[in-house]
Structure 1
Amino acid sequence: MTALKRFQRLESPGLWRESPDAQRRDVILSFGEASLVVSDMRERVLAHWSLAAIERINPGKMPALYRPGTDSGETLEIDESVMIDAIEAVRAALARSRPHPGRLRLWLLVGVVLAILGLGLFWLPGALVRHTVSVVPPEGRAEIGRDLLARVTRVAGPPCNRPDGVKALNRLTRRLLPDRDVRVLVLPGGVPRSAHLPGGLILLNRALVEDYETADTLAGFIIAEDARAAKTDPLAAMLSEVGLAASFKLLTSGHMPREALESYALTMLTMAPEPLPQDILLGRFQQARVPAAPYAYALDISGESVIGLIEADPMRGQTVAPLLSDGEWVQLQGICGG
């Protein structure tokens, strides 16, 4: 849309009220792909307002007062004339682009709606998820990941954070995934051996750092979890699990419903990890120059169900430098405080 492209780099201050009884907060407003982005003074995203749904509450008055939809309690107060003009220009362009059908157009629309409803059972869920995933920005994914983590840690406990252990874990992560924006956390319990969240978060059970003699097994789980996140978008996996209503809420408001986050967090605690094709795993182990056999035996101590990973281990017969020094591995094993 030409009107939107003109203002994509525009920012201005404003006053945001999350609900009618909340205090107003100083915020920064900027245009996103299809939304007005509301951020606090530390540039943390607070809300995404769909440009198509924004309404002005006090036409012709100053400062301008907006809300993200008829039923919303959120409001924005803006006295920056350039930003007001930009919002009004986009709203006017959207209004002009909306159809104004006569009777024939109405019947055509009814026919289209019926056709969509007929196909919706099979097509709509996947299409809505794909579209929603495509428009959620990285900061939105990071926010969802943090919200999920907060709910997971209510059960699993807060991430282990002994400083020397965290330092060793971060060094291992950089060694394994040098080109990836990934944060690895060790949780004290309540979770499967490994899991991942939107926003580049990988979660590990403390047993992976405490029950093995070297870092090779832990490294294998980090590599495998990152491979899962690369194979199936974590946000798409979550939306497919929580349903259409949550996807639509995220698409229109920029936020996941609290109930959906709670439900998915509980699901994660019992969800079996997605199987990975052997060739993908072996390729990732070879790229990281990490032996695959320790990871395979951690999955199946007998080796029977993972014989392919063991026999085709890309590091088999090779001398591989330790991933961490002995001292660093001891520090990492104590990340949860013993």
Structure 2
Amino acid sequence: MTALQEYQRLECTGLWRDRPDGQRREVIVSFGEATLVISEMRSERALTHWSLPAVVRLNPGELPARFSPDPDGDEELELDDEAMIAAVSKVHTLIEARRPHPGRLRTALLGSALAGVCAALLFWVPNALVTHTAAALPFAKRQAIGRAALADLTRLTGQPCAASEGQDALGRLHDRLLGPAGEIFVLPEGLKRSAVLPGGIVLLSRALVEDQDTPEVAAGEVLAADLRRVAQDPMVAILRHAGIRATFRLLTTGDLPNGSVDGYGEELLSANVEPATEKALLDRFRAAGVASGPYAYFLDPTGESVLALIEADPFRAVSSNRPVMSDADWVSLQGICRG
């Protein structure tokens, strides 16, 4: 199903890049109920999801049409398929037609923000504004801010490892453990184990793939990192770094001021990581179909402090019916930083 009744299914090819200086890649573009799904040509793995109401055309009236999930975002998609271009345009036409008052959403957000600030002056200024703003952001905006934070972090870690076969394997690992929304990056240096950024971005240390015999340790760290994301929204940490003024501007205009995430990389690398509880980890390993024993011995080679993860391993006695990844994918992933 799609957002328009006249289309049961609508797909085309396009040219996509994830940053202004990135190389354009031929992709499959699928028009869904609420999103444009951009997928790889070969594997059909979803690279990103764009909210249809948020998609903007950068060159009205020109062909090929250029689209972005955000006017100031890094991603860009070129389309020359007339049906797909018309479908995206029609969605925006319908949204405008159903809107009683132009600018109502921004006015409502501004009114809500002003009322919130008045209450905050009496009770809870910084934390409530930050948590409210973080919770109100759509996925596309969270992903854009997460990518900006990653760009700042790469000053310290180097660019994410990018061997093509390793990236494909990493994408399949993400889909296996976390589903299609978001990305995993392997950083060549600086990161001790893992970190999370808004927009479903998980960061792994190079050592987690190169220095391990099996993929269970990397998979376990991905699951542990995602548990931390659920327990504490990574957007909150970025907004606290950006400050109250920048957070208020994001809430009222939809954009952070330029330079708001500068220097966040140092803060992320030096942050104390609160470990997940053993019960939460076991539940997550069980749901994902991953053995917890290898990850437990990675945390403590003696096993003494992680006995619960070893003894209650959901797949200790029997093998999981769902391997973490194929041997070929594991070999490719171990070479992701050597390409």
Q: TM-score, normalization: structure 2?
A: 0.65
Counterpart CA distance in 2 for 1:133 and 1:296 is: 33
Counterpart CA distance in 1 for 2:204 and 2:107 is: 46
Displacement of 1:267: 0.5
| Residue 154 (1) aligns with residue 158 (2) | no
Between the two proteins, the alignment pairs up a number of residues equal to 251
Counterpart CA distance in 2 for 1:39 and 1:263 is: 32
Quick one: which amino acid aligns to residue 68 of structure 2?
Answer: E
Quick one: which amino acid aligns to residue 145 of structure 1?
Answer: G
| Residue 215 (structure 1) aligns with | 215
Equivalent residue for 2:68, pick from 31, 43, 56: 43
Instruction: After superposition, give the CA deviation of every residue in 1:172-198 in whole Å (9 maximum; x if it has no partner).
Output: 222222x35121111111123111110
Aligned identity (percent) is 44
* Cα 1:242–1:274 shift into 2, 3 Å: farther
| Residue 334 (structure 1) aligns with | 335
| Residue 117 (1) aligns with residue 121 (2) | yes
Quick one: which amino acid aligns to residue 121 of structure 2?
Answer: L
Unaligned runs of 5+ in 2: 1-52, 59-65, 74-95, 112-116
Instruction: After superposition, give the CA deviation of every residue in 1:185-241 in whole Å (9 maximum; x if it has no partner).
Output: 111111231111101111111100000101010110111111221222221232244
Counterpart CA distance in 2 for 1:307 and 1:167 is: 34
- Tell whether the 8 Å contact from 1:38 to 1:47 is kept in structure 2 after alignment: no
Q: TM-score, normalization: structure 1?
A: 0.65
Displacement of 1:257: 3.5
* Cα 1:269–1:39 shift into 2, 3 Å: farther
| Residue 308 (structure 2) aligns with | 308
Unaligned runs of 5+ in 1: 1-34, 49-82, 99-111
Counterpart CA distance in 1 for 2:188 and 2:146 is: 19
| Residue 237 (structure 1) aligns with | 237
Tell me which moved more, 142-151 or 167-176.
167-176
- Tell whether the 8 Å contact from 2:242 to 2:260 is kept in structure 1 after alignment: yes
Counterpart CA distance in 2 for 1:135 and 1:38 is: 20
* Cα 1:256–1:290 shift into 2, 3 Å: same
- Tell whether the 8 Å contact from 2:293 to 2:309 is kept in structure 1 after alignment: yes
RMSD of aligned alpha carbons: 3.3
Counterpart CA distance in 2 for 1:198 and 1:285 is: 22
Higher Cα Rg, which structure: 1
- Tell whether the 8 Å contact from 2:156 to 2:265 is kept in structure 1 after alignment: no
